């Protein structure tokens, strides 16, 4: 099948894209990499009179190190709006491809959870075109990036006729394939806070075949108290922040809040055993509602898989964090990366 007929628009700037969205109304749809939208159009599960192509907006691509908080300023014609993450952050433009993120040294060094999740997305052909903005706006509950954004408390930056805003990832995913974006709002970029002290990050998922969407997955971020005496091997250091993003386990990406709260302030050494990994895996599943039952298996199966992937990701993240107390550090400096794709 072929898509229904549409008029094609190629704006030169973020501002122009927003003006088109506002002018054309419900009949218009943004298209980025097309990896989610094109199949819907081709199968005629969706039809729009106007497609607004974001590939022509160069200001929406790229990866930048932001030294401190940047306040929302005036919107230039090729806008990269300011952010709302206090302290150092890494900004990833909405139209930056998953492949460019996967290649980025800056992301690998400063936002390792994002880097580690990227190779799990589809196949390289998908990642060559699919974008972070498209992935977050599409808001598939089984997708990796939404869970990573939740686990890292990312700020999702937007532009609309009313101006710029930054939406905390925790408020962005509002329901099945739905987000806090307004119909005339463009996602411009994502700001990820850079952690300063010892930290560990891991993502784990189970999919039936490599490249498939995950049956269940978990993205774990753990930070330890940098100032406390962690002991010679780092095991006395206490958890200052823990976030567990879950995907494939609900109608939206989720945080396992009760499991996270259960480790706050506890010594890392007590939490790095296999037995504790299994315990937190179970705890992360305990209060889940709306776990899908589908052709991949019933909800009970997904929960068993979910507990196992949380346990595996937990073990890697806590061990990396403990290792960070006794050494490691991020010494290199990075500038701006122009994302080719
Ligand atoms: P598009 O398809 O162009 O757009 C998707 C939606 O986002 C549309 O509604 C569009 O209007 C909206 N949108 C896009 N950009 C913006 C913006 N800047 N502001 C506001 N709205 C915007 N994804 C995974 O996470 N994990 C997987 O394992 C995975 N496997 C895949 C396997 C296959 C075979 C395919 C075809 C896709 C797979 N994907 C997977 C999806 C892929 O990651 C997509 O690239 C992604 O979901 C959407 O990104 P896109 O740039 O292609 O967006």
Q: Is the CB of 81 under 6 A from ligand 1?
A: no
Separation CA 140–CA 295 (nearest Å): 17
Using a 10 angstrom Cβ sphere, with 0-12 exposed, 13-18 middle and 19 or more buried, the burial of residue 331 is exposed
Q: What is the pLDDT of residue 84?
A: 60
Q: Is the CB of 307 under 6 A from ligand 1?
A: no
Ligand 1: centre distance to CA 238 (Å) = 38
DSSP type of residue 294: B
- Ligand 1: atom nearest CA of 130 is 45
Ligand 1: centre distance to CA 135 (Å) = 4
Q: What is the pLDDT of residue 334?
A: 52
Q: What is the pLDDT of residue 86?
A: 73
Ligand 1: centre distance to CA 97 (Å) = 10
Q: What is the pLDDT of residue 331?
A: 34
| Closest C-alpha to ligand 1, atom 15 | 134
Torsion sign over Cα 84, 14, 118, 28: positive
Residue 336 scores a pLDDT above 80: no
Q: What Cα–Cα distance (Å) separates residue 15 from each residue in 26, 83, 229, 289, 291?
A: 18, 17, 50, 40, 39
Q: What is the pLDDT of residue 338?
A: 60
- Ligand 1: atom nearest CA of 122 is 30
Q: What Cα–Cα distance (Å) separates residue 179 from each residue in 106, 107, 117?
A: 28, 25, 21
- Ligand 1: atom nearest CA of 97 is 51
Ligand 1: centre distance to CA 37 (Å) = 7
CB atoms within 10 A of CB 319: 16
Tell me what the pLDDT averaged over the chain comes to. Answer: 90
Q: What is the pLDDT of residue 70?
A: 44
Q: Is the CB of 33 under 6 A from ligand 1?
A: yes
Cα–Cα nearest to 156, from 127, 126, 179, 187: 187
For the stretch 225-238, pLDDT in tens is 877 676 767 788 99
Cα–Cα nearest to 156, from 184, 137, 129: 137
Backbone angles phi, psi at 220, to 5 degrees: -115, 130
| Closest C-alpha to ligand 1, atom 13 | 134
Domains of the chain: 7-56 (3.30.43.10), 58-193 (3.30.465.10), 199-325 (3.30.390.50)
Cα–Cα nearest to 220, from 311, 308, 322: 311
CB atoms within 10 A of CB 46: 13
Ligand 1: centre distance to CA 51 (Å) = 15
Q: What Cα–Cα distance (Å) separates residue 27 from each residue in 24, 184, 222, 264?
A: 6, 11, 43, 48
Residue 77 scores a pLDDT above 80: no
Could you write out the DSSP letters of every residue in 135-162?
HHHHT-TT-HHHHHHHHTT-EEEEEETT
Q: Is the CB of 34 under 6 A from ligand 1?
A: yes
For the stretch 114-160, pLDDT in tens is 999 999 999 999 999 999 999 999 999 999 999 999 999 999 999 99
Q: What is the pLDDT of residue 341?
A: 53
Q: Please choose from 135, 172, 339, 341 the residue to mutate so as to test ligand 1's pocket, defined by most ligand atoms within 8 A of CB.
A: 135
Q: Is the CB of 245 under 6 A from ligand 1?
A: no
For the stretch 10-25, pLDDT in tens is 999 999 999 999 999 9
37, 101 contact by CB (below 8 A)? no
For the stretch 167-212, pLDDT in tens is 999 999 999 999 999 999 999 999 999 998 899 999 999 999 988 9
For the stretch 264-306, pLDDT in tens is 999 999 999 999 999 999 999 998 999 999 988 899 999 999 9
Ligand 1: centre distance to CA 299 (Å) = 25
Taking only Cα atoms into account, the Rg of the chain, rounded to an integer number of angstroms, comes to: 20
| Closest C-alpha to ligand 1, atom 6 | 138
Query: Of 280 and 66, which is predicted with more confidence?
Result: 280
pLDDT band at 9 (very low <50, low <70, confident <90, very high): very high
Q: What is the pLDDT of residue 340?
A: 52
244, 220 contact by CB (below 8 A)? yes
Ligand 1: centre distance to CA 32 (Å) = 8
pLDDT band at 104 (very low <50, low <70, confident <90, very high): very high
pLDDT band at 67 (very low <50, low <70, confident <90, very high): confident
Q: Is the CB of 90 under 6 A from ligand 1?
A: no
- Ligand 1: atom nearest CA of 211 is 28
CB under 8 Å to 156, separation ≥6 — which residues? 136, 149, 166, 167, 168, 169, 172, 187, 190
Residue 74 scores a pLDDT above 50: no
Residue 75 scores a pLDDT above 60: no
Q: Is the CB of 143 under 6 A from ligand 1?
A: yes
């Amino acid at each position: 099948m072929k898509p229904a007929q549409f008029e094609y628009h190629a704006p030169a700037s973020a501002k122009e894209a927003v003006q088109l969205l506002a002018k054309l109304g419900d009949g218009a749809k943004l298209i980025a990499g097309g990896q989610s939208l094109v199949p819907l159009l081709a199968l005629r599960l969706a039809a729009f009179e106007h497609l607004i192509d974001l590939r022509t907006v160069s200001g929406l691509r790229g990866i930048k190190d932001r030294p401190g908080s940047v306040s929302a300023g005036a919107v230039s014609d090729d806008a990269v709006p300011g952010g709302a993450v206090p302290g150092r952050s890494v900004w990833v433009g909405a139209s930056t491809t998953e492949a460019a993120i996967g290649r980025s040294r800056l992301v690998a060094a400063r936002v390792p959870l994002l880097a580690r999740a990227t190779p799990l997305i589809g196949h390289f052909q998908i990642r060559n075109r699919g974008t972070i903005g498209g992935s977050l706006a599409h808001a598939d509950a089984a997708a990796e990036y939404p869970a990573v954004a939740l686990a890292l408390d990312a700020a999702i930056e937007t532009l609309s006729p009313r101006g710029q805003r930054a939406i905390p990832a925790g408020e962005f995913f509002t329901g099945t394939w739905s987000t806090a974006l307004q119909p005339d709002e463009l996602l411009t970029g994502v700001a990820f806070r850079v952690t300063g002290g010892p930290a560990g990050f891991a993502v784990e998922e189970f999919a039936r075949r490599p490249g498939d969407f995950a049956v269940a997955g978990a993205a774990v971020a753990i930070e330890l108290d940098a100032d406390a005496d962690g002991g010679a091997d780092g095991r006395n250091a206490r958890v200052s922040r823990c976030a567990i993003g879950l995907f494939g386990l609900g109608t939206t990406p989720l945080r396992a809040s009760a499991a996270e709260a259960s480790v706050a302030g506890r010594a890392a050494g007590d939490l790095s055993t296999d037995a504790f990994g299994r315990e937190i895996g179970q705890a992360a599943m305990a209060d889940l509602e709306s776990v899908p039952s589908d052709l991949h298996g019933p909800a009970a199966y997904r929960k068993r898989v979910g507990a196992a992937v949380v346990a595996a990701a937990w073990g890697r993240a806590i061990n990396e964090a403990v290792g960070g107390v006794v050494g490691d550090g991020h010494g290199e400096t990075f500038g701006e990366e122009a994302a080719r794709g």
